[in-house]
Amino acid sequence: MLFLLSPAKTLDYQTAVPPELLDKATTPQFVPQSAELIALLKTKTPADIAELMDLSEDLSTLNVLRYAAWSRRFTKTNSKPAVLAFAGDVYDGLDAGSLSADDLAWAQQHVAILSGLYGVLRPLDKLQPYRLEMGTRLANARGSNLYAFWGDTLAQYLDAKLAIEKKKALIVNLASQEYFKAADRKALRTPVIECVFEDWKNGQFKVISFFAKRARGLMARYAIQHRLKSAKGLEGFNLDGYGFDGAASAPERLVFRRRLA
């Protein structure tokens, strides 16, 4: 099984990384493609980036500086393991900093983070700070946006990573549709299960973005700590008051619901 997550806009490069994890950090697998995108981004002014990504002047300037500093050489000083560098709702739920070394080793093989700049990141891949959402319409040699840039590359990577499992191979999508779209479902040969998290509000169950994002991180944490191997194992997820609702679910769409007091 392979669990997909989205990246986060918020980054944490202030919290120190344990030395033993720095030693286990790995190099991203699509560095040439990342460098190609960085070369495009380096041609942009802060005003260009502000318009392209709908950012404030301060944020666009910050990211222009990030692009200028980005290097093909990933070091302990210019990068940080991705799962510890990303912050925000999903990563608050995942709480990777409290996972054991064995947990993170399992996650390295069973969790993948989709990224506009890096394509796919393993949890311990070294991440240099950036901002480039998958939906960004950055014109490139392959088309008008990042979906065209990545094409079927990510789908092929995900299939290859699961090839050893053959009939048991399964992708559990915990990423947003913006990011999962980059996996190119038409090219993807591995079955996919979507996990949906709903809360009771105003007399009905609905997806509430903040809670759903955190729940995706919690599901990834649950999978890591329980070493899940099958779709059936997902149904046991019970963190933060969520429970599996079989009646609302389908084989490829598992629904988890809760009622807050």
The strand pair at 126-127 and 204-206 is best described as unpaired
Scanning the chain, the segments in alpha helix (DSSP H) are: 19-24, 31-41, 46-53, 57-69, 82-85, 89-94, 101-110, 146-150, 153-162, 177-180, 209-226, 231-234
**Position of tokens 């210019």?**
78
CB 124 within 8 A of CB 104: yes
**Position of tokens 């046991």?**
236
Number of CB atoms found within 10 A of residue 68's CB: 10
> pLDDT at position 261, please?
66
Domain ranges (residues) in the chain: 2-258
> pLDDT at position 163, please?
87
196 is written with which tokens?
């949906």
**Position of tokens 């899940």?**
228
Q: What does the DSSP 8-state code read for residue 190?
A: S
The strand pair at 119-121 and 171-173 is best described as unpaired
Cα–Cα distance list, 242 to 91, 136, 212, 260 (Å): 18, 33, 11, 10
Number of CB atoms found within 10 A of residue 146's CB: 23
> pLDDT at position 197, please?
98
The strand pair at 119-121 and 111-115 is best described as antiparallel
Taking only the tens of pLDDT, the chain with its 261 residues reads 999 999 999 999 999 999 889 899 999 999 999 999 999 999 999 999 999 999 999 999 999 999 999 999 999 999 999 999 999 999 999 999 999 999 999 999 999 999 999 999 999 999 999 999 999 999 999 999 999 999 999 999 999 999 887 778 999 999 999 999 999 888 899 999 999 999 999 999 999 999 999 999 999 999 999 999 999 999 999 999 999 999 999 999 999 999 986
> pLDDT at position 184, please?
85
Instruction: Give the separation between CA 33 and CA 150, rounded to whole angstroms.
Output: 9
> pLDDT at position 185, please?
83
